[in-house]
Amino acid sequence: MKAPSFARLRGYVRTSLHGDNIEAFINAAALQQIRIWDIRRLPDDRAECYLLVSGYFRLRPLLKKTGCRIHVEQRSGFPFFIVRIRRRKFFVVGGILFLLGLYMLSSLVWSIEVTGNVRIATEEVLKQARQQGIYPFQWTFRLRDPDVVSKAMNTQIKGVSWIGIERNGTTIRIHVVESTLPENRELVNPRHLVAKTDGMITHIIAERGRPAVRQHSRVKKGDILISGQIGTEELPSTVAAKGEVRALVWHEYDVAVPLVTKRKVYTGKQKELRYVTAGDRRLQIAGYGGIPFDSYETIVKVKRLQWRHWVLPFGSQTEVLKEAHIISEERSEQEALLAGLQEARSDVLAKNGLDARIHEEKILHQKADNGKVVMKVLFEVEQSIAEELPIVPQAQPDPGGQDEKAAPPQARG
């Protein structure tokens, strides 16, 4: 016999029958229209079958009549599910409250991210977003349509061409596209370009103004290289001189290089000290005992607990003590000479700009004294020597203005 319709909804049990008249019992149940299905014969005068809960309570007269016994092995269906829920009502209520709390937490705005802004401050964007109802711990179902919010923020924030609002779970992303502003031209006063040091001109290009020197000419500090005064004597005018002027400049260096150098060498041995930190206090949890090194270097690593954008005052700190020794190395006079020249080259290039180039170098004097190599080096460097000098306008004399002489006093008669 097949299982009746809606058996799970009505509830059913799996039972085991014991007795000598199991067939008579089943026939009697069928005559009483008690639905029994999936009947299986088992050893030792036993059988297994399924029946509805409503039919189970009608079996007692039949059991007495046939002398059989019945035992419930399994209960299934909706009625038994309700019984289990009633027995575990606190667990069920807790599960419902947990799901409700999870839903409420997922319905809040936890973080707001602003991207694409360079000139506009993030605080300004967040301030305008708050006025539109977008701020942390706001309910997501209370947020207005993103297009409406975007249009409102476009009108309130200056310097933007478009603002996009996107919600991804509990995070609101605000995409900002700033307006392209025209490039502001630098306003400069009339000026000359003059030499900031002595040298010999190797290259001159005047983009604006009048060249005042030629290539291969020698100049002194303060000489005009590109004049900002143009025009004629009748119609003079001034401009902001602009251009590039390069010259050969001579630099003299006194260099002293020791023959014995000292450097730090790590042995590979180390010890770690670990701490738990809370604010400015810390508690050591590992690395007890003395320090087995006489000379060492300490490297400190600090980690802070972080939740989203908030850095908590708790964390961990690790101190790594690395054993190190200072060793001395001797070098020859030639090696010290090369090291001193390299140091002087680096210094002269660093002081005279990235575009400076060394044309020639000459050692004027060299000697070894008191464990050092002392030398005097002359560098010939091609570098930019132009610097600005403002043009001060001169007062024009007033042709019609003449000093009035005071009239002599008249004598009284």
Q: Is-contact 172 136, C-beta < 8 A?
A: no
Query: CATH number, domain at 142?
Result: 3.10.20.310
The pair of structure tokens assigned to 2 is 């097949």
**Mean of pLDDT values over 26-35:** 87
Q: What is the pLDDT of residues 41-93, one digit of tens each?
A: 888 888 999 998 888 888 888 988 888 899 999 888 888 888 888 888 888 88
Q: Is-contact 258 335, C-beta < 8 A?
A: no
Q: Which of 178, 208, 228 is the last residue of a domain?
A: 178
Q: What total number of domains does the chain contain?
A: 5
Tell me phi and psi for residue 175, to 5 degrees: -100, 125
Q: What is the pLDDT of residues 109-128, one digit of tens each?
A: 999 999 999 889 999 999 99
Do 127 and 167 fall within a single domain?
yes
- Domain annotation covers residue 185: no
For residue 409, the model assigns a pLDDT of 44
Q: What is the pLDDT of residues 159-215, one digit of tens each?
A: 899 999 999 888 999 999 998 877 766 667 899 999 999 999 999 999 999 999 999
- Domain annotation covers residue 395: no
Is the confidence at residue 1, as pLDDT, over 70?
Answer: no
For residue 248, the model assigns a pLDDT of 96
Q: What is the pLDDT of residues 282-307, one digit of tens each?
A: 999 998 888 888 899 999 999 988 87
Q: What is the pTM (predicted TM-score) of this model?
A: 0.47
Conformation bin of residue 119: beta by default, left when phi > 0, alpha when psi is -120 to 50: alpha
For residue 389, the model assigns a pLDDT of 92
Do 268 and 317 fall within a single domain?
yes
What is the C-alpha separation between 347 and 195, in angstroms, rounded?
22
Q: What is the pLDDT of residues 317-372, one digit of tens each?
A: 999 999 999 998 888 999 999 999 999 999 999 999 888 999 999 999 999 888 89
Residue type, 152: A
What value, to the nearest 5°, has the Cα angle with vertex 64 and ends 63 and 65? 90
Cβ-in-10-Å burial (0-12, 13-18, 19+) of 329 comes to exposed
What is the C-alpha separation between 389 and 193, in angstroms, rounded?
6
What is the C-alpha separation between 247 and 250, in angstroms, rounded?
10
Q: Which residues contact 302 (CB under 8 A, 6 or more apart)?
A: 277, 315, 316, 317
Mean pLDDT, rounded, of the chain: 87
pLDDT band at 384 (very low <50, low <70, confident <90, very high): very high
- Domain annotation covers residue 94: no
- Domain annotation covers residue 97: no
What is the C-alpha separation between 112 and 305, in angstroms, rounded?
20
The pair of structure tokens assigned to 145 is 């349509």
Q: What is the pLDDT of residues 220-261, one digit of tens each?
A: 999 999 999 988 878 888 899 999 999 999 999 999 999 998
Longest dimension (CA), the chain: 175
End-to-end CA distance of the chain: 161
Residues spanned by the domain of 157: 111-178
